[in-house]
Structure 1
Amino acid sequence: MSIIDAIIIAIIEGLTEFLPVSSTGHMIIASSFLGIHKEEFTKLFEVAIQLGAILAVVLVYWRKFFKFNEWQFYAKLIVGVLPALLLGYFFSDQIDALLESPVVVAVSLLLGGIILLFVDRAFNHPRIHRDEQISYGNAFMTGLWQCLAMIPGVSRSASSIIGGMQQKMTRNVAAEFSFFLAVPTMCAASGYSLFLKNWGTDDAPVKGFDIILSSQENIVAFITGNIVAFVVAILAIKFFISFLKKYGFKVFGWYRIIAGIILLALFAFNIIEH
């Protein structure tokens, strides 16, 4: 992976991590276009790059994250992240297999887009107007919805926001809780990929941080990518909340449908490798 490749993928991560369009799906497609999607470092990079986006959430909502006297906020995040931790632990190999399939991404983008067209109409009677009103049950159910994002192209943001709205949260509250929930979820995913997961072959397993440290090029790409993702994610978070309040999900739904159809056509005619 070159430094230009790393910057391109980092910009995509920062732009799409908190939009309901699937950051992982977009990164998989981008790496396919760049011809680097089968490289071991690329697969690691697409997960570890989330660290920059995590820091963006913490910075934008620092007043919330550093109110240590409001312990229930942290407790609800722990409850909300439990489903993803358990499913991720038991089905990591199956998830990794899906991550290698751009076709799965294209189909998920298309189907998810159709769902987004009807979300605003389906969940239009909210009762939770502040995050303080979110119960532990609401947090856990939203966390279950978030697990749908283990299918590439589904979008962690979309699934958790829809889950929050299904739990009677307003669009704004559901979106912000999705951002909050992203921090422990993505910390766990990045930490697992860097320090616990065995990369390479069964005969010669290697940890993620060893892959990064194996060359100066990888180190520079990892650091640069996270910095770029951090800056871009800050802008994306502020844009998304403002846009969502005014327009809802339909624009993102149509975007996903069009993107999914185009990608399936490109695969069908072997214009890009799948």
Structure 2
Amino acid sequence: MNIIHVIVLAIIEGLTEFLPISSTGHMVVASAIMGIGTNDFVKLFEIVIQLGAIMAVVALYFKRFFKSIDFYIKLVIGVIPAVVFGLLLKKKIDLLLESPLIVAVAFVLGGIVLLFVDDWFKKPTITEEEDISKLTAFKIGLFQCLAMIPGVSRSGASIIGGMTQKLSRKAAAEFSFFLAVPTMFGATVKDLYDFYKHNNIPAAELQQDITYLLTGSVIAFIVALLAIKSFITFLEQKGFRLFGYYRIVAGLIIIVLYYTTNYLQAV
């Protein structure tokens, strides 16, 4: 992995983290195409820069994080399913991260869902975060767990989860963003601890690791700042259908490349 790979992956992360097209899936495929595979540091890097992108939520919605204790209680309740399933399925999740083919299948299936989701949930009754109950937060957290399968999309799964609970598209998207903060903070802290606990990293390599992680996180943060508001506006006006078509086309292209070239099989 070199600094060019860091910049490319960070831009991809910042652009895709809040779209229902799976940032992890895009990074898995991009890593394979660039020939850097999915070694332990690449997996760590992809998790850490997701937190960098998600910190853009804190910057843009700063006041929301200081409104009430109830807001934090709902976030804690919403993140419980991800904590439980993440701890139980960590090894299996890491194996899934090595497969562009799984990403491709998830792209296609998720795309088909997005083609119809606007028609399924036409009459929302909840438009503000304050009206989301603790039980609803937990149910949305369960949907978020689907994103442990690379290619599913954390934001897409949790937004759709919110819409099943009568949230408007905007309210569901914003709560998905808020829920990402504790989810990815916890995942990042755990992965950093596990990686450096079990690997004896030489000082020079450690310095390079820190440089890559910080650079990637900053780039992802800046790009995500530009992407979030644009996504909210687009989602309110146009819905999910275009993302569905994108996922299906991208998934089919990845499947074709997987079976006809060596780029995606050398992971």
TM-score, with length taken from structure 2: 0.95
Cα distance per residue 1:166-198 (max 9 Å; x no partner): 000000000000000000001011111101x25
Count of aligned pairs: 265
1:205 matches 2:203: no
Q: Which amino acid aligns with 2:156?
A: A
2:207 matches 1:216: yes
Pair 1:245 & 2:236 matched = yes
Q: 2:208 and 2:63 mapped to 1: Cα distance?
A: 36
Correspondence for 2:34: 34
* Other-structure match for 1:76: 74
Question: In the alignment, what sits opposite 1:56?
Answer: 56
RMSD: 1.6
Deviation at 1:151, TM superposition (A): 0.3
Comparing 20-29 with 220-229, which one deviates more in the overlay?
Answer: 220-229
* Corresponding residue number in structure 2 for 1:172: 170
**Which of 11-20 and 44-53 deviates more?**
44-53
User: Once the 2 structures are TM-superposed, how far is the Cα of residue 236 of structure 1 from its aligned partner?
Assistant: 0.9
Q: Does residue 1:5 correspond to 2:5, yes or no?
A: yes
Matches within 5 A, 1:118-267: 118-195=116-193, 197-198=194-195, 205-206=198-199, 214-267=205-258
Q: Distance in 1 between matches of 2:53 and 2:195?
A: 24
In structure 2, C-alpha distance between the alignment counterparts of 1:215 and 1:205, rounded to whole Å: 14
**Given that residues 74 and 134 in structure 2 are in contact (C-alpha distance below 8 angstroms), is that contact kept between their aligned partners in structure 1?**
yes
- Residue 51 of structure 1: how far off its partner (Å): 2.3
Distance 2:85 2:160 in 1: 19
Aligned-residue offset at 1:40: 2.4
SS where residue 75 of structure 2 aligns? helix
Q: CA deviation at 1:52?
A: 1.1
Contact 1:51 1:186 in 2 (8 A): yes
* Cα distance between partner residues in 1 of 2:37 and 2:228: 27
Unpaired runs of at least 5, structure 1: none
Q: Could you report, residue by residue, the CA deviation over 1:73-115 in whole angstroms, capped at 9, with x for unpaired residues?
A: 0000000000000000111011111111111001000110000
Structure 1 residue 85 and structure 2 residue 78: aligned?
A: no
The DSSP-based 3-state class of the residue aligned with 2:37 is: coil
Residues 1:228 and 1:129: Cα distance change in structure 2 (over 3 Å):
same
2: CA distance between counterparts of 1:105 and 1:176?
25
Q: CA deviation at 1:55?
A: 1.5
**What amino acid is aligned across from residue 166 of structure 1 in structure 2?**
T
Q: How far apart are the structure 1 equivalents of 2:204 and 2:83?
A: 27
Ranges in structure 2 where 5+ consecutive residues have no aligned partner: none
Q: Shift of residue 60 of structure 1?
A: 0.5
Aligned identity (percent) is 54
Cα deviation, residue 117, structure 1: 0.3
In 1, Cα distance between the equivalents of 2:103 and 2:51? 22
Q: Deviations over 1:44-75 (max 9, x none)?
A: 101111221122110000010123xx110000
Q: Secondary structure at 1:153's aligned position in 2?
A: coil
Look up the equivalent residue of 2:8 and give its one-letter code: I
Q: Which residue matches 2:106?
A: 108
Pick which of 40-49 and 235-244 moved more: 40-49
1:65, 1:6 → 2: CA distance?
Answer: 30
Q: Moved runs in structure 1, 4+ residues, more than 4 A? A: 210-213
The structure-2 alpha-carbon separation of the partners of 1:135 and 1:212, relative to structure 1 and needing over 3 Å to count, comes to farther
Q: Which moved more, 1:13-22 or 1:263-272?
A: 263-272
Kept in 2: contact 1:108–1:153 (CA 8 A):
yes
